[in-house]
Amino acid sequence: MPRESLKRDIAIIGVSCIFSGCDNPHTFWEKLANGNELIEFYTDQELLESGVEAKTIQDPRYVKIKTFINHSDSFD
């Protein structure tokens, strides 16, 4: 095909991401720019109720972080 007939270049650019507390890139960047924390922490009570042993909760190396991704059942 002659080069002259290929003058209809098209670029399709898209971004998709899901982070804890954010369903789209716009929300993610907005929260990031505003300094919002996207990570939450479990309370000791929540951990105990979920079956984590007390000695594990008291271990200074144990990280009590929780993050949730909405619609995680929609991933391929």
pLDDT tens, residue by residue, 33-74: 999 988 889 999 999 999 999 999 999 999 999 877 777 776
Q: What is the pLDDT of residue 39?
A: 85
Residue 10 CB-half CA count within 13 A: 2
Q: Is the predicted pLDDT of residue 1 greater than 60, yes or no?
A: no
d(CA 60, CA 41): 14
pLDDT at site 69? 73
